Amino acid sequence: MQLLRDVTGASYSDMHVSGHSLGAHVAGYAGERTPGLGRITGLDPADPYFEYEDPRVRLDPDDAEFVDVIHSDGNSFITLGFGLFQPIGDADFYPNGGKQQPGCGDESTTIDLSCDHSRAHEFFLDSITSDCTYLAYPCTLWEVDNDPSACNYCPFGQCSYMGYNADQSRARGVFYLETNDQAPYCLQ
DSSP annotation string for 27-66: HHHHHHTSTT--EEEEES-B-TTTTTS-GGGS--GGGSSE
Q: β-strand 160-161 against 173-177: which pairing, if any?
A: unpaired
List active site positions: 21, 44, 117
Confirm if 91 and 126 have CB atoms less than 8 A apart. Answer: no
**Cα–Cα distance measured from residue 56 to residue 146, given in angstroms and rounded to the nearest whole number:** 30
**Cα–Cα distance measured from residue 50 to residue 105, given in angstroms and rounded to the nearest whole number:** 25
DSSP annotation string for 113-165: TTHHHHHHHHHHHHHHHSS---EEEEE-HHHHHH-GGG----GGG--EE-SGG
Phi-psi region of 81 (alpha: psi -120 to 50; beta: other; left: phi over 0): beta
